[in-house]
Structure 1
Amino acid sequence: MRKVADIAGIAGLLALLTAAAPLATARPAAAQAKAQAKVEAPKSDPTKPGKPGDKLLVEADELIYDNDKNTVTARGNAELHYGTRTLQADRVRYDRASSRVFAEGNVRLTDQDGAVVTGDKMELTDDFKNGFIDSLRIQQTVEKKGETVRTRFSAPRGERIEGEQTSFDYGTYTACEPCKDNPQKPPLWQVRAAKIIHNNETHTVYFEESTLEIAGIPVAYLPYFEAPDPTVKRKSGFLTPRFISATALGSGASVPYFFNLAPDYDLTLSPAFLSRQGVLGQAEFRQRLDSGSYNLRLSGIFQTTPSAFLPGPLGAGDRDFRGAIESKGRFYINDRWRTGWDVVGVTDKWFLDNYRIRNQTITTDYFREAVSTAYLIGQGDRSWFEARGYYFKGLSSFDWQKEQPIVAPVIDYDKRINGPQPLGGEVRFEANITSLTREATDFQGLPRSSSYLFSPSFNGISYPLYETCTTFNQASCLVRGLAGTNTRASAQVSWRRSFIDDFGQVFTPFTYLRTDAFFVNPSLSGYQNALVPTIANINEGFAGRVMPAVGLDYRYPFVSNFGPLGVHTLEPIAQVIARPSETRIGRLPNEDAQSLVFDDTSLFEWDKFSGYDRVEGGVRTNLGAQYSVVTPSGWYANAMFGESIQLAGVNSFRRGDIANVGLESGLENRRSDFVSRFQVSPNQNISFISRARFDQADFKVNRFEAGVTARFAPFLPLTLSAFYSYAEAQPLLGFSHRREGITTTATYNITPNWFVTGSALVDLTHYLDTRDIYTDAFSSYLANPIGAAPIYQNPGRFYLSGMSLGGGYQDECTTVSLNYIVSPIATAIGTRERNQTVLLRIELKTLGEADLRQNVGVASTADGIASVR
């Protein structure tokens, strides 16, 4: 058991001992007991841990009081608690004359912030704030971004100053765990310095005469540098530089500096010094408010060598100044409403790509664009409101900005309520208002023949026989977007209710009423827009459309439980919808209903068009059945098969609009193509799904896709996915040849730390379609840029469009990855080429990260670049 003594201060304790024998030793009554004493704390700074009046609690196996030497010794598992600090050691001696504490053997000092200081010997003041430590080691643990980060300092000798600063002589710093089997082995990385000073008040670590070591080998030397400790989330200072090397830019580096202006806002300046183009200025301002946050980023350069880029219209070689402005904002008005924006503005379409300025909102696929939007969103318990505006900026050479629309506003409202009695069920109200303005009509020529015929080549590039749209003819031209201002307001109210009879049959009657109002004001100025009047029967001014419908959905699931073989369900499904024929087909614009895909997901949709500009009409029945199995072991399978049949009225998919939507969709005949789905998941780690559309007449595959995702851990540290897609030629929609390809990704963990990864995009189509490339970039070279023919090349049966291959190492303190990336380039003259990049990324946790990106084997016609040497 423990013995406790309350004595007024260490000085009082020693005064009491003066009256005792020359040497007094207090020993426990039993071997298991500890001696314990509480004393008043020494005077200290009231702003620091350990305030006046705090008591020092001493625990040990035995306390030894030496009056002659004015010392008190705690020996055997000694613990001293003072305020928020704790000192542990095999032996602790307090010297009254010097007011110093001497600790020896497995010394461990835990600070108020959780940092643990260890050493062989410590000489400290009686409040543990100042002193010297032999064989010093410090471990600091913090939670940062949801991750536990541990840092470690060590030195033969160190000094503790006012409890807020620790100085290490010939010390080391790392965030790596020591090797469990061989603690003396150097960590993966560490910084070794003649002096390291850790200031806990400013949360800064200073290094003098420092060397970065990798696996014990020196790789970099810095005479002086400083870095924030892991507890710091925001601190002014230099960030990790980024190195740049490119033919058009030269060699250089970006040196960012972060200004922590206030707790709620900051500024980052990132000048990039380029040997061939001068100084690229970049600045980003961020601010967080009570209701949200926003940022503003500016980039700009006065080019010293504009000739490194192609002249207009193929590049920005005729510009001295180039730049961009980007901003993003998110604000929460209240629990139900939020607003924001995402804006990108550039002086030219090549700037961000040429100067390698990253923007997460810009797609990096073959066709690239920047989308600017502003929005207001409200959400209720059973309602949704959204208002947006869009501005699209094409970033490829073949984009013609006059064909890009400005869309504002786009307003959507959706509200669901319980149906009135005695109807019951659910009533849903949907509304949409869309208005857009386009300066030039977006035409596209159709192939003259579905066969692969080629005209004479131009500069080694062959041209298939496609129609041009100098005179609009629906048999040879499509209108992807109409010039002028087009506004549409749509509203739909619907009702449905499900009834289940005693046999388990499910009857769901439904009805809806859809109304649309169009106001079309086409632009007729300019050569291209002058073609608009030749579009047959396009309604100008106001036009209206009404579509009522009534229908019934019938399902009869048969369920059987076969015990260990699982629960099997067979469900026939039938649906019939009666409505009048669609009106004004081809006489109204179609902007938002061009992506029609008929498959298992749209078979039982009331309206199979993807947007509001088209509305399905006529009497139609949708038939199908699905079969599913679920076993107790987690095995799951599902199969579905069905078709759609036009019973009466005009088939909306048989008559194409100005974009031919509906034709060659699989729905254009009275009896549609067959659609199917098959899905199987042996367990939660493996899933396979396939979808197909078969020709109704001869069961030929018109569309097919299949994919598998698998995670084999813990048996095999492998994760992979593979998807195959095939679509038959659709000449009436502008696709004269089939589209076929495979995309795969895989990651294999060789060890818990080492991994390899790869991905590939394989084009299995003989020809590459780069349609419409002449509308802007080649307009100065070809006499007829309107609806120009796509360019095709024949690279062979298998063409590796894109791929990445890499690997790396990752642990608690280090991430190193090396990747080789091949990506397609949409070049100015439409040739099929690929960009090859080597990317090296190194992150030393708590110190910073660095990326090194180098293009290799760049195509000679890289987008906007004059030449590659």
Structure 2
Amino acid sequence: MPLSVTGRETRPRQRLGHGLRTVSDIAKLAGLLAFVSGAALTLGSDGASAQAAGQSDRGQARKAAAPKSAVAPKAAAQPAPAPTGKPAERLLVEAAELIYDNDNNTVTARGNAELHYGPRTLQADRVRYDRASSRVFAEGNVRLTDETGAVVTGDTMELTDDFRNGFVDALRIQQTVEMRGQPVRTRFSAPRGERVDGEQTTFESGTYTACEPCKNNPETPPLWQVRAAKIIHNNETHIIGFEESTLEIAGIPVGYLPYFEAPDPTVKRKTGFLTPRFITSTALGSGISTPFFINVAPNFDITLTPSFLSEQGILGQGELRHRLDTGTYTIRASGIFQTTPSAFLPGPLGAGDRDFRGSIETTGQFYINDRWRTGWDVVGVTDKWFLDNYRVRNSSITTDYFREAVSTAYLIGQGDRSWFEARAYYFKGLSSYDWQKEQPVVAPVIDYDKRINGPGFLGGEVRFEANITHLDREATDFQAIPRTGSYYFNPTVNGTTYSLYETCTTFTRSTCIIRGLSGSNTRASAQLSWRRTFIDDAGQVFTPFAYLRTDAFFVDPRNSGYQNALAQTISTTDSDFSGRVMPAVGLDYRYPFVSNFGPLGVHTLEPIAQVVIRPSETHIGRLPNEDAQSLVFDDTSLFEWDKFSGYDRVEGGVRTNLGAQYSVVTPSGWYANVMFGESIQVAGVNSFRRGDLANVGLDSGLERRESDYVGRFQLSPNQNISFVTRARFEQRDFTVNRLETGVIARLNPFAPIDLSMFYSYYAAQPLLGFNNRREGLTASATYHITPNWFVTGSALVDLTHYLDVRDNFANAYTSYLANPVGAAPVYTNPGRANLAGLSIGGGYQDECTTFSLNYIVSPTAAALGVTERNRTVLLRVELKTLGEVDLRQNVNIASTADGIAATR
């Protein structure tokens, strides 16, 4: 046990209880612990007054016999009595020694004094209580930790007798808060601080930062700090006010505000203004958005964002978020009465004929119980250009090239081995190529999936799947193959002819694809399947399987009202009901050969063979195909029972799938895998040779009896490097028809570099609308100059000029139709490489600061209808706990976006 040494005697270190002579003495010292938190002081326990009186009597007797100054040993701490009605709380004091100065009427705890009162702890070299002035002093390395974990340090602390007012010299406060799941440590400091009424702390000539001090030189100014003549921190309202404040970067002043205030770091939500956003646009002019956040309740808030635009007036935006016991919902709305509608083209190519434009979106998700939930994501817009023209954020917009806003509502249930989902969809086309009457309304889409153990001797797994889909479309969705001989429907608006959407005068597979038929289409599908795996003594793996698929279709075509070709050339004009049944049996066989070569790893060679026996598919081309248009034949689909991606098509005939894979896993962490195979149509009609209205199956690599070869190669020397290649080769001459290869690598510890590179090649598929090959390369790299500084860059190379050719042809054809002079443009591809996208930048990141600057060149989305690249500068600065600024500036020299008048 540590010892306390005085001038004449050595005493064991003990808990202090009897050294303080009255309840008031204990209370005065304990109250010091409430200095920062301002907590009410409650001490003692019931029935302790007699003990306190006894302590006082012994103290008086000691006073009569002792010299003017005495040193008392420490003893076990005892609970002190508390005022009537106050809850009990123990005060524990540790110190090397306790000194009574009876002449000066003081009591001093000296030598690593440590006081524990509830969740608060005070540490100091010396703590002195002056009974005459009713003041308490803590001196030397004073450190106070409150119940929140905040640490207050100073050279001295001085408190008044009610412990709600006082001063601290060389004040420093440190507190850890959480931001985005990461701890951030904040720091206040001042030569002197004052506390008033236990609620407000004032820092004279104070500083605030979230940066760690330099380890080698703590006196060096932090990366950033706010220095103010006065910092006022109100612990009740949790607001920090800065008077005559200056923002310093590395000790250099860079900004000044006479006064500003912000919530302290403990506040997660607070009513007030958010970071403004600046706007510059040809059609909108210059402007600023000023978001104002309203914290209605802990589970309910509203954000109002007026945007003041020099060309168009005031754009109003609002967002409401509400979290309830069973779920949450949001409502986001925006709108503007345009002061200069002529800045945009008139309809149908723009919204220049509209005074009011706006949008509304609502999302929600609610849990009915632990198995069922329901929700929605619904968006409505006045026109398809609004979200882009006014840069309105919307979560329902798809991010692919042909953008659309998808509205959906759903009901989902999940059991231990079952799944139910019912949805409805509405698609709003946002591309310049979209005609809304070609977009379907899909309601409902119902899916059910249930798996159970096979009964009795069958064993294995039995699975039941069902799907019901109904959709309506006003006009047939045509896609003309881009070549001379394709025809467009061109309405006249204000005497000018425009190309709005594609059509075909006569439907032929070489010139036109039909993505969806007009009218009402309903399909109900069900599939019952069984499979079971057997492994014999030799290690051979046999998996027999069987399934029965049934489909019922009801088609009600709509063939009049629009001049987009006669649907009679495709289907009948009468309502039609038809059915389809597809039974199948099959066997999957695998025989893995495994060898362990010690340090060279475990090697596995696995031949695979699969046969599926079923009748031929019926009604090919006579039934709509809405959900099975995405057919990709590669290593991932080689051993699928049915290679179509949806229910509208079903694979038929007898087919054999053959392949093998080889893998290696070493003790050092190496992993490699090679797979190769092909598919053979043995008997019956090849479903992929008979293309439907969308030509699905043609140019897929499966349309011949012997398919293309497919393969995969994966290599991962360690957890930092991953390489994968997938390819499809022409069966007759091994020509590459599809190739995707990429590598992701972190070169640490050899070099502070992260890099990735992906290359893709797709051969021409003229029957699917791709007359030329598509080939591209994307690469990105980040170099960490130091643990904090980095530079980064990426590039997208269009190796065949495909993107430019596609957009140039569409725009050239539209211009020709507006002024049909000379010959119509022909879809050609020069095959030149083109830098389609570029990003370069750099930044800095540490525990308190994030900074990044990027220059980005990217392909323009189809929704904008322009061929020029987007050129944008992005600047982001975040001073953690203080705020962040995001600036985005378009630096195109000239840009005419779809819906924006060229004269502006």
Aligned residue for 2:437, secondary structure, equals helix
Q: Which residue does the alignment assign to 2:688?
A: 653
Could you tell me how far 1:38 is from its partner in structure 2?
5.4
Do structure 1's residue 2 and structure 2's residue 8 form an aligned pair?
Answer: no
Q: Which residue does the alignment assign to 2:496?
A: none
Could you tell me how far 1:610 is from its partner in structure 2?
0.8
Could you tell me how far 1:307 is from its partner in structure 2?
2.1
Superposed CA offset, 1:212-250 (max 9, x none): 222122222222221111111111111111122222222
RMSD: 2.8
Q: Relative to structure 1, is the Cα distance of residues 35 and 799 closer, same or farther in structure 2, using a 3 angstrom cutoff? A: farther
Do structure 1's residue 746 and structure 2's residue 769 form an aligned pair?
Answer: no
Aligned residue for 2:342, secondary structure, equals helix
| Alpha-carbon distance in 2 for matches of 1:5, 1:830 | 83
**Pairing 1:636-715 to 2, within 5 Å after superposition:** 636-715=671-750
Superposed CA offset, 1:684-706 (max 9, x none): 22111111111111111111111
- Structure 1, unaligned runs of 5 or more: 29-33, 451-465
Q: Which residue does the alignment assign to 2:374?
A: 339
Do structure 1's residue 235 and structure 2's residue 270 form an aligned pair?
Answer: yes
Q: Which residue does the alignment assign to 1:91?
A: 126
Q: Which residue does the alignment assign to 1:544?
A: 579
Aligned residue for 2:558, secondary structure, equals coil
| Alpha-carbon distance in 1 for matches of 2:827, 2:229 | 65
| Alpha-carbon distance in 2 for matches of 1:52, 1:279 | 58
| Alpha-carbon distance in 2 for matches of 1:274, 1:219 | 29
Greater displacement, 592-601 / 203-212: 203-212
| Alpha-carbon distance in 2 for matches of 1:512, 1:854 | 57
Q: Which residue does the alignment assign to 2:767?
A: 732
| Alpha-carbon distance in 2 for matches of 1:512, 1:353 | 48
Q: Which residue does the alignment assign to 1:156?
A: 191
Equivalent of 2:71 in 6, 26, 30: 26
Could you tell me how far 1:748 is from its partner in structure 2?
2.3
Q: Which residue does the alignment assign to 1:463?
A: none
- Structure 2, unaligned runs of 5 or more: 1-11, 26-51, 486-500
| Alpha-carbon distance in 1 for matches of 2:811, 2:843 | 43
Q: Which residue does the alignment assign to 2:47?
A: none
Q: Which residue does the alignment assign to 1:209?
A: 244
Could you tell me how far 1:746 is from its partner in structure 2?
2.3
| Alpha-carbon distance in 2 for matches of 1:235, 1:846 | 13
Q: Which residue does the alignment assign to 1:443?
A: 478
Q: Which residue does the alignment assign to 1:248?
A: 283
Could you tell me how far 1:725 is from its partner in structure 2?
0.8
Do structure 1's residue 863 and structure 2's residue 898 form an aligned pair?
Answer: yes
Do structure 1's residue 596 and structure 2's residue 652 form an aligned pair?
Answer: no
Equivalent of 1:330 in 337, 345, 365: 365
Q: Which residue does the alignment assign to 2:37?
A: none
Q: Relative to structure 1, is the Cα distance of residues 795 and 63 closer, same or farther in structure 2, using a 3 angstrom cutoff? A: farther
Could you tell me how far 1:27 is from its partner in structure 2?
5.8
Aligned residue for 1:440, secondary structure, equals coil
| Alpha-carbon distance in 2 for matches of 1:493, 1:75 | 83
| Alpha-carbon distance in 2 for matches of 1:197, 1:861 | 51
Aligned residue for 1:166, secondary structure, equals strand
| Alpha-carbon distance in 1 for matches of 2:716, 2:838 | 28
Aligned residue for 2:17, secondary structure, equals strand
Equivalent of 2:465 in 430, 433, 438: 430
Could you tell me how far 1:868 is from its partner in structure 2?
8.1
Q: Which residue does the alignment assign to 1:460?
A: none
Could you tell me how far 1:175 is from its partner in structure 2?
1.1
Counterpart AA for 1:162: D
Q: Relative to structure 1, is the Cα distance of residues 738 and 54 closer, same or farther in structure 2, using a 3 angstrom cutoff? A: same
Aligned residue for 2:714, secondary structure, equals strand
Retained in 2: the 8 A contact 1:636–1:682?
yes
Instruction: Provide the TM-score with structure 2 as the length reference.
Output: 0.88
Counterpart AA for 2:273: F
Aligned residue for 2:847, secondary structure, equals coil
| Alpha-carbon distance in 2 for matches of 1:684, 1:344 | 42
Counterpart AA for 1:836: R
Superposed CA offset, 1:234-288 (max 9, x none): 1111111112222222222111111111122111111111122111111111100
Equivalent of 1:40 in 80, 83, 97: 80
Counterpart AA for 2:80: E
Q: Which residue does the alignment assign to 2:225?
A: 190
Retained in 2: the 8 A contact 1:396–1:863?
no
Could you tell me how far 1:158 is from its partner in structure 2?
0.7
Q: Which residue does the alignment assign to 1:285?
A: 320
Equivalent of 1:508 in 543, 546, 558: 543
| Alpha-carbon distance in 1 for matches of 2:639, 2:237 | 65
Greater displacement, 757-766 / 729-738: 757-766
| Alpha-carbon distance in 2 for matches of 1:528, 1:467 | 11
**Pairing 1:106-145 to 2, within 5 Å after superposition:** 106-125=141-160, 128-145=163-180
Aligned residue for 1:833, secondary structure, equals coil
Aligned residue for 2:388, secondary structure, equals helix
Q: Relative to structure 1, is the Cα distance of residues 54 and 427 closer, same or farther in structure 2, using a 3 angstrom cutoff? A: closer
Aligned residue for 1:271, secondary structure, equals strand
Instruction: Provide the TM-score with structure 1 as the length reference.
Output: 0.92
Retained in 2: the 8 A contact 1:805–1:820?
yes
The percentage of counterpart residues that share the same residue type is 78
Retained in 2: the 8 A contact 1:193–1:208?
yes
Q: Which residue does the alignment assign to 1:372?
A: 407
Q: Which residue does the alignment assign to 2:42?
A: none
Retained in 1: the 8 A contact 2:556–2:574?
no
**Pairing 1:239-638 to 2, within 5 Å after superposition:** 239-446=274-481, 469-535=504-570, 540-638=575-673
Aligned residue for 1:782, secondary structure, equals helix
Greater displacement, 495-504 / 759-768: 759-768
Q: Which residue does the alignment assign to 1:453?
A: none
| Alpha-carbon distance in 2 for matches of 1:299, 1:540 | 43
Could you tell me how far 1:141 is from its partner in structure 2?
1.5
Retained in 2: the 8 A contact 1:834–1:859?
no
Could you tell me how far 1:159 is from its partner in structure 2?
0.5
Q: Which residue does the alignment assign to 1:456?
A: none
Retained in 2: the 8 A contact 1:397–1:826?
no
Could you tell me how far 1:471 is from its partner in structure 2?
1.9
Q: Relative to structure 1, is the Cα distance of residues 166 and 70 closer, same or farther in structure 2, using a 3 angstrom cutoff? A: same
Could you tell me how far 1:605 is from its partner in structure 2?
0.6
Do structure 1's residue 813 and structure 2's residue 848 form an aligned pair?
Answer: yes
Q: Relative to structure 1, is the Cα distance of residues 53 and 677 closer, same or farther in structure 2, using a 3 angstrom cutoff? A: closer
Q: Relative to structure 1, is the Cα distance of residues 209 and 43 closer, same or farther in structure 2, using a 3 angstrom cutoff? A: farther
Superposed CA offset, 1:598-646 (max 9, x none): 1111111110111111110011111111111111111111111111111
Counterpart AA for 1:504: G
Could you tell me how far 1:363 is from its partner in structure 2?
3.4
Q: Relative to structure 1, is the Cα distance of residues 303 and 682 closer, same or farther in structure 2, using a 3 angstrom cutoff? A: same
| Alpha-carbon distance in 2 for matches of 1:686, 1:513 | 44
Could you tell me how far 1:311 is from its partner in structure 2?
2.2
Retained in 1: the 8 A contact 2:504–2:564?
no
Retained in 2: the 8 A contact 1:42–1:126?
no
| Alpha-carbon distance in 2 for matches of 1:706, 1:27 | 81
Retained in 1: the 8 A contact 2:808–2:867?
no
Q: Relative to structure 1, is the Cα distance of residues 14 and 713 closer, same or farther in structure 2, using a 3 angstrom cutoff? A: farther
Superposed CA offset, 1:307-363 (max 9, x none): 222222222222211111011111111111111111221111111111122224323
Aligned residue for 1:352, secondary structure, equals helix
Retained in 2: the 8 A contact 1:496–1:511?
yes
| Alpha-carbon distance in 2 for matches of 1:770, 1:479 | 23
Q: Relative to structure 1, is the Cα distance of residues 817 and 36 closer, same or farther in structure 2, using a 3 angstrom cutoff? A: farther
Q: Which residue does the alignment assign to 1:722?
A: 757
Superposed CA offset, 1:77-130 (max 9, x none): 112333433222112211001221112211112223221111111111357542
Aligned residue for 1:290, secondary structure, equals coil
| Alpha-carbon distance in 2 for matches of 1:427, 1:808 | 55
Q: Relative to structure 1, is the Cα distance of residues 230 and 831 closer, same or farther in structure 2, using a 3 angstrom cutoff? A: closer
Retained in 2: the 8 A contact 1:23–1:67?
yes
Counterpart AA for 2:70: T
